[in-house]
Structure 1
Amino acid sequence: MRHSNAANRLDRLPISRFHKITLLAVSFAYFFEFADINAFATTAPRLIDLWGTTVDQVAYVTSLSFVGMFFGSVIAGWAADRWGRKKTLIRTTLAFGVFSFASVFSWDIVSLGVFRVLTSAGLSAMTVVAVIYVSELFPAAVRGKYQAYAIVIGICGTPVTNLIASAVVPLSDWSWRLVYLWGAAGVFFVFFARHLRESPRWHESKGEYDKADAVLREIESRVTAEKGPLAEPAPPVEEPPAYKAPLRLLLKKKYLLPTLLLTVLWVTQTIGFFGYSSWAPTLLAKEGFSVEKSIFYVALTTVGAPLGSYLAALVTDRFERKWCLVAFGTVIAACGLLYGLTFNPVLIVVFGFLVNLFERGYTALGYAYSPELFDTRGRSLGTGVSYGLGRLSNAAGPLIIAALYNRTGYQSVFLFIAATWLVGALVLAVFGPLTRRKRGPAEATPAETSPAEV
């Protein structure tokens, strides 16, 4: 067999129980990623009191966590190509759960910082693989919507964790550790493993057409039993197998341009969002709000996060993702700036709610948009490197924010964050490829910069 025709065979499938179980599994992983990613932010105000931790130390731990995210993203891209999407998704999810559990037993800010760096590497690696996995298994015409649905469910981990933190952190001198124990529950993802299937597109990219065909036949038989006879797929487009994707592949024009664009997207998203979410509890506490109130106010704002992901699900396949990203980024900049200009508790919650709503929508759109700019051969590497560079950029972000706060005050932090979002929106508006007209049942050319099939 010279070609298993994975793309066209998957794209003509109706959404079935197979897709829904896959969606539930990815959503579970996302839930505990979002549950854990801001765990340090919710416990930092307490550690300032207990351990005498300084704002600069909070900045260093946060900064190094993003260095961990960079290495996790890059390693994930390599691992997903080498071991497959399914195996890497399972391993990376287990990794961040194990290191989050280790954080429960940290004894000072240094040990906690080490565990947070390792946890962050696992979190970022899992995200990269999950984005690719959904992109390759779901039909092209609706993959953006289901990518957003996964985040709608997963993002609930943020408000749930923040509300848990607001309740348990103030209880005693040790109860902040329960926040990390909660994040460690991601290890239960292992129970979904037997329900997942390897990406046939990955097998096909390796030249393993028989294995790809076997997985496709299993999926098709399950869908046929549930939905009835399937339509004939479009004929395949012959391409040579890609046995590996070396880093130098990204220097080719068709990969370099989308990689640079997505790097800007993820750099501005990372600094813009984590500059807000990682610092809001600490800065509010430093400005005179109690630890309990600062955590509680931030917890209320994160209720907007699931609604934002749902909003993205409504618009992602109906409009150009590029222009949705531009619009969302501009709104986030405005709301984030207004958040920083007020000390009224009601307005803090309102503008923080809007920041979370539109940012999580932005992230869901970005997860769907990113893989579409690459073909199968470059998708894992390009997505991993650009996402990783975005996370690496925030190694400097916390240090910049700490310096701004210490030298020029609270409001300058939010001026910086708003400017970051506007830069990202402008670059996307000018240079972002259009992808909507390229998506369809027989999708072959996902972006103007990538002439190969998605």
Structure 2
Amino acid sequence: MAILEGTASVRAADHEPTADANALAEGSAQYGTISARLDRLPATRAIWKLILLLSLGFFFELYDLLYTGYVAPGLVKSGILTPTTPGLFGTSGVASFIAALFCGLFIGTAACGFLADRFGRRAIFTWSLLWYVAANTVMAFQDTASGLNFWRFVSGVGIGVELVTIGTYLSELAPKHLRGRAFAVCQAIGFSAVPVVAFLSWLLVPRTMLGLDGWRWVVLLGGISALFVWYFRRNLPESPRWLASKGRAEEAAAVLADLEEKVARQYGAPLPAPGPADPVPRKAGFADMWKPPYGKRTVMLILFHIFQTVGFYGFANWVPTLLVKQGITVTSSLMYTTVIGLAAPLGPLLGYWIADRFERKHVIVGMAAINIVSGLLFSQASAAVAIVTLGVLLTLAGNIISFTYHTYQQELYPTAIRARAVGFVYSWSRLSAVFSSFVIAFTLKEFGVTGVFVFIAGAMALVMVSIGLMGPRTLGKSLESISH
């Protein structure tokens, strides 16, 4: 049976395949074989080591991404920023700092997502990390709102590229039977950055050390630590799927053979036989995102990302400021958020047990419903126990949604455009965050904390509708069969 339908070209005169057609069919066969060999690999230490190395990169990425809300009270205290602004799009408030980050993330995901498709997952994983570490180091020494926002924008570009690259990299290295759990573990390790940054913020933000405000130390410690990832990245192989998609079949086979040897040695038995090679998607470009079957998926993910961002970052980036607005001191609000932050890695860990058992779309819809109820109750809470309990529920639901959709969106596009397509749809969440941060600041000023959570609840209801009605099923399927 032909592995790639419709690629063989036939001579009109003698019906003999052309040399180009033979080469294309051979390349497609090699790609399909590599994919089948990857998907049959058991979950040994060698596989988990790759997952953990990528997860380590994700830890520092989330540290950098999520410290925004935790250092915001310190930025206000230092006089660089204000909690709210007179106008909707003022550039001197916390909202402008958040918006600068997400403008950078938008450029990084929308305009630069193609880099990982062109130059490889491994190279872009490394250099985007170094980019945002350098930008954040410069940002830590800014004393004006404009300087702070500019360098936050620059670092956001690097973080945006890294976000797309890690997800693409992980989806292509993890066998299909492990894909959901791999993302759960990656996100659990990544979100353990939340209690770390929350604790460091509680410890450092109210203080001044060696002449530097505490918020500057929070920023610098993340960047210095992230450099260790640059060192460890040498143990990461390039994605065999990406190499094969670029026609570098010999390199792909060599990388895969080395991985198979390590897995077999640890498995202690002959490796399972590869399954049949799945149909290999034809070469795809940006325009293919809008053609069947990808067009409907693209629209669904754009709608999803516009609204899920409001729920996730509306809480994560604003909770310390919201608590202060309710009359709680800066120190107490940071203590509460530190306790709430301890739950961040528990969401993906709980999700580990459901990741490859339940459809991704059903998990997202269920957690969005929990987010709505918990958020509305949180807006009315005043007792410490209620604040922490509801904050933990919001954190768990948000982080389960996060690891689930990171798995889900990577499954919906072919290897040739996976990073670019995911970067494009993901970029809408960044654009949404730019505007929603200003809307939340305006809503907080005009309607208080309750108004903010009503706004968030409406957004999460639209998440439920878009994924519930338009999302395809992907559980237990190979990347190639989903993308075909």
TM-score, scaled relative to structure 2: 0.88
Q: Which amino acid aligns with 1:406?
A: K
Of 167, 170, 176, which aligns to 1:140? 176
**8 Å Cα contact 2:36/2:278 also seen in 1:** no
Q: Which amino acid aligns with 1:431?
A: M
2: CA distance, partners of 1:51 / 1:443: 50
Residue in structure 1 matched with residue 94 of structure 2 by the alignment: 58
**8 Å Cα contact 2:62/2:190 also seen in 1:** yes
Residue in structure 2 matched with residue 339 of structure 1 by the alignment: 378
Residue in structure 1 matched with residue 39 of structure 2 by the alignment: 11
**8 Å Cα contact 1:145/1:317 also seen in 2:** yes
Distance change (3 Å), C-alpha of 1:443 and 1:136:
closer
Distance change (3 Å), C-alpha of 1:289 and 1:196:
same
Gap regions ≥5 residues in structure 1: none
- 1:239 is displaced (CA, Å) by 4.0
**8 Å Cα contact 1:312/1:362 also seen in 2:** no
Residue in structure 2 matched with residue 290 of structure 1 by the alignment: 329
1:81-120 correspondence runs (5 A): 81-120=117-156
Q: Deviations over 1:149-202 (max 9, x none)?
A: 111111100111101100111112612211101221212211222210111110
1: CA distance, partners of 2:364 / 2:162: 23
SS in 2 for 1:342: coil
- Stretches of 4+ moved more than 3 A in 1? 237-242
Of 235, 240, 247, which aligns to 1:207? 247
1: CA distance, partners of 2:45 / 2:171: 17
Q: Which amino acid aligns with 2:147?
A: S
SS in 1 for 2:177: coil
**8 Å Cα contact 1:27/1:151 also seen in 2:** yes
Larger mean Cα displacement after TM superposition, 355-364 or 107-116 = 107-116
- 1:366 is displaced (CA, Å) by 0.7
2: CA distance, partners of 1:240 / 1:42: 44
Residue in structure 2 matched with residue 128 of structure 1 by the alignment: 164
Q: Which amino acid aligns with 1:210?
A: E
Residue in structure 2 matched with residue 150 of structure 1 by the alignment: 186
Q: Deviations over 1:75-114 (max 9, x none)?
A: 4420011101111111122222222222221122221111
2: CA distance, partners of 1:247 / 1:178: 42
2: CA distance, partners of 1:339 / 1:122: 34
- 1:34 is displaced (CA, Å) by 1.8
**8 Å Cα contact 2:296/2:470 also seen in 1:** no
Residue in structure 2 matched with residue 268 of structure 1 by the alignment: 307
Of 308, 311, 315, which aligns to 2:354? 315
Q: Deviations over 1:385-416 (max 9, x none)?
A: 11111111111101111111122222101110
Q: Report how many aligned residue pairs link the two structures.
A: 443
Q: Which amino acid aligns with 1:151?
A: Q
Residue in structure 2 matched with residue 26 of structure 1 by the alignment: 54
Q: Which amino acid aligns with 1:101?
A: T
Identity, in percent, stands at 32
**8 Å Cα contact 1:159/1:302 also seen in 2:** yes
1:360 aligns to 2:399 (yes or no): yes
1: CA distance, partners of 2:468 / 2:424: 22
**8 Å Cα contact 1:76/1:126 also seen in 2:** no
Q: Which amino acid aligns with 1:362?
A: I
Gap regions ≥5 residues in structure 2: 1-25, 86-92
2: CA distance, partners of 1:51 / 1:84: 43
Residue in structure 2 matched with residue 370 of structure 1 by the alignment: 409
- 1:234 is displaced (CA, Å) by 2.5
1:222 aligns to 2:222 (yes or no): no
Q: Deviations over 1:119-177 (max 9, x none)?
A: 22222221111111111011101111111111111110011110110011111261221
- 1:9 is displaced (CA, Å) by 0.5
Q: Which amino acid aligns with 1:33?
A: E
TM-score, scaled relative to structure 1: 0.93
- 1:225 is displaced (CA, Å) by 2.2
Please say which structure displays the higher CA radius of gyration.
2
**8 Å Cα contact 2:414/2:479 also seen in 1:** no
Of 221, 226, 230, which aligns to 1:190? 230
2: CA distance, partners of 1:209 / 1:421: 44
Distance change (3 Å), C-alpha of 1:355 and 1:237:
closer
